[in-house]
Amino acid sequence: MNNLAKKFHQDAAHMAENVALRNVIATGLGKYAEGRDKKIADFQDWQKARETASQIKRESLNNLPQNIQQLTEKLTSRGTHIHFAATGSDVCRIVLNILRQKKAKLMIKSKSMTSEEVHLNKALEKEGFKVVESDLGEFIVQLRQEPPYHIVFPAMHLTRYQISDLFHDKLNSQPTENPETLTMIARQNLRSQYIQADVGFTGANFAVADTGMISVTENEGNSRLCGSLPKTMITLIGIEKVIPRLEDLPLFLPMLATVGAAQNLTAYNTLYSGPKRPEEPDGPEEYHVILLDNGRSRLQKDPVYREVLKCMRCGSCLNVCPIYKSVGGHTYNATYSGPIGSVLMPKLFGMAAYKHLSFACSLCCACRDACPVKIDLSHLLLKNRETLSSQFAPKYEKLAFKGMSALFNHPLFWSLGKKLAWIGQKLHPLIEGSAIDPAQCWTATRKAPKLVWHSFKDLWKKYKS
């Protein structure tokens, strides 16, 4: 087991004991599920919406190079600077260059999981730049110096009391139990930062190829402020987020709000087509769009895993996953957690490092049914396991399975095995739980069913006549 896998198992075990935290998560996700189902019911045909969205995304990925070309041509024609980043470190280098060129000191950010993926904040702070997260949840976890707990709800693991203590410590605010007061503390704190910031940074949910626009979905208005006030604006987007037409948005936007936030639509769905135009009174003078690959084009070429690029990061697979609910977001120790993370992390960042995530799944398939673009995540997790068993399985495991295969294929071995297992189980208590117990991993948390000397098959033979 590698270190990441060891840590995963340790943290999962701790989390299992942390009933208070699991209750916080269960309450949050419970409220979400109730709201989501109501909003799904507002659609006339939710299944048809899913099927259509899936088809559009698939079509878009099949024509990815053409779509990206169209997108960048349109954006460039209106004066937007396009940057292609092959890796995460390329993104950091590009942003650093822009900040240096603009002699910037402060960059204000709205929510972007892609920037988490490339560890942008750390890279900028290392070079002496100040980076402020403006999304309330991200603002909170940034103050705590921890990564977001969830793709969409970054601070869902915290209670209002913990947030009140945090604000009291870091911002000298009065303690309060009122979520509204806490929100207003953050609002007041960030207002001056929007105005002072030299650069505004946003993530993106879609890029519209045929009109050359970047689409940003949010509720708080912080992203719109990031795109309105600073003189320079930067958007980071994964190349897979391109959709073909402007007319696809009326489908995707309400779907994303429904499964992502249990709303019909989020408060702001904004399209950016370039920097401020000459006749407009405000907006950034420079607009930079960074298109990130970071392993995505490799996935695009893979006919099986291409499906995973349909993902629009709504977080709905996390919200229904029994593993996510039990082990929590931070246990994954990965940018993308939950089922989508368990498929994506090994494929993007190395099977060897993240292979344990493929087993963080009970194959209940709830994620497959929840996914708005019909990614069969449970199937892909099985595919991961298939790869692992052929490439990474230790010799003894392969041998054990060969033995099992022989046992199941030969009636004589099978009946002999049954009797031996009965004897083995009788002797097992002598070593149970000790270091030489071969079944230690299993018996540490479970009890095996009791074997009997006379099996059903034996009894059947005896009493049939």
Partner 1 sequence: MTIDFQNILPKTETEYTAMVNLFANKSADLTTRFVKVFTQREIGLYLNTLATQEKWVSIASHHTPLTDESVIAVPVPCLWTDQGYKIEELEKVSASITGCDALIAQTGSVMLSSRTAGGRALSILPPHHIVLATKNQIVPDLPTAYRMIREKYSPNYPSMVSLVTGPSRTGDIERILVLGAHGPRKLTIILVEEV
Helix and strand numbers, DSSP H then E, in the chain: 23, 10
Scanning residues 379 to 438, which ones bind partner 1 (CB under 8 A)? none
Q: For residues 227 and 233, what is the distance between their CA atoms, to the nearest angstrom? A: 6
Residues near 452 by Cβ (< 8 Å), separated by ≥ 6? 422
Q: Which is nearer to partner 1, 248 or 307 (CB)?
A: 248
Shortest Cβ distance from residue 50 to partner 1 (Å)? 10
Shortest Cβ distance from residue 138 to partner 1 (Å)? 9
Contact 215, 269 (CB under 8 A): yes
Residue of 10, 38, 169, 179 that binds partner 1 (CB under 8 A): 179
Q: Which residues pair with 291 in a beta bridge?
A: 84, 237
Task: Tell me if 265 contacts partner 1 by CB under 8 A.
Answer: yes
Task: Tell me if 313 contacts partner 1 by CB under 8 A.
Answer: no
Shortest Cβ distance from residue 394 to partner 1 (Å)? 44
Q: For residues 301 and 62, what is the distance between their CA atoms, to the nearest angstrom? A: 9
Scanning residues 103 to 162, which ones bind partner 1 (CB under 8 A)? 134-137, 140, 153-156, 158-160
Shortest Cβ distance from residue 187 to partner 1 (Å)? 6
Task: Tell me if 246 contacts partner 1 by CB under 8 A.
Answer: yes
Q: For residues 91 and 330, what is the distance between their CA atoms, to the nearest angstrom? A: 24
Q: For residues 317 and 361, what is the distance between their CA atoms, to the nearest angstrom? A: 12
Task: Tell me if 190 contacts partner 1 by CB under 8 A.
Answer: yes
Shortest Cβ distance from residue 355 to partner 1 (Å)? 33
As a whole number of Å, the CA-based R_g of the chain is: 26
Task: Tell me if 197 contacts partner 1 by CB under 8 A.
Answer: no
Interface size with partner 1, residues (CB under 8 A): 78
Q: Is 24 in a helix, a strand, or coil?
A: helix
Residue of 213, 234, 290, 377 that binds partner 1 (CB under 8 A): 213
Task: Tell me if 48 contacts partner 1 by CB under 8 A.
Answer: yes
Scanning residues 337 to 366, which ones bind partner 1 (CB under 8 A)? none
For residue 145 the two structure tokens come to 């110096």
Residue of 271, 353, 382, 439 that binds partner 1 (CB under 8 A): 271
Shortest Cβ distance from residue 419 to partner 1 (Å)? 56
End-to-end Cα separation, the chain, in angstroms: 53
β-strands 242-243, 213-218: how paired?
unpaired
Residue of 55, 87, 89, 405 that binds partner 1 (CB under 8 A): 55
Dihedral of the alpha carbons of 209, 213, 215, 220, in degrees to the nearest 10: 180
CA 173 to chain centre: 32
Task: Tell me if 330 contacts partner 1 by CB under 8 A.
Answer: no
DSSP 271: E
Task: Tell me if 76 contacts partner 1 by CB under 8 A.
Answer: no
Alpha helix stretches (DSSP H) within 172-270: 179-196, 222-226, 249-261
Dihedral of the alpha carbons of 253, 119, 331, 9, in degrees to the nearest 10: 130
Contact 439, 448 (CB under 8 A): yes
Q: Which is nearer to partner 1, 240 or 248 (CB)?
A: 248
Scanning residues 7 to 26, which ones bind partner 1 (CB under 8 A)? 24
Q: Which residues pair with 85 in a beta bridge?
A: 292
Task: Tell me if 273 contacts partner 1 by CB under 8 A.
Answer: yes
Task: Tell me if 221 contacts partner 1 by CB under 8 A.
Answer: yes
Task: Tell me if 32 contacts partner 1 by CB under 8 A.
Answer: yes
β-strands 286-292, 81-85: how paired?
parallel
Shortest Cβ distance from residue 224 to partner 1 (Å)? 5
Contact range with partner 1 by CB under 8 A, out of 13-21, 217-225, 316-324, 385-393: 217-225
Task: Tell me if 38 contacts partner 1 by CB under 8 A.
Answer: no
Task: Tell me if 191 contacts partner 1 by CB under 8 A.
Answer: yes
Contact range with partner 1 by CB under 8 A, out of 5-13, 187-195, 382-390, 423-431: 187-195
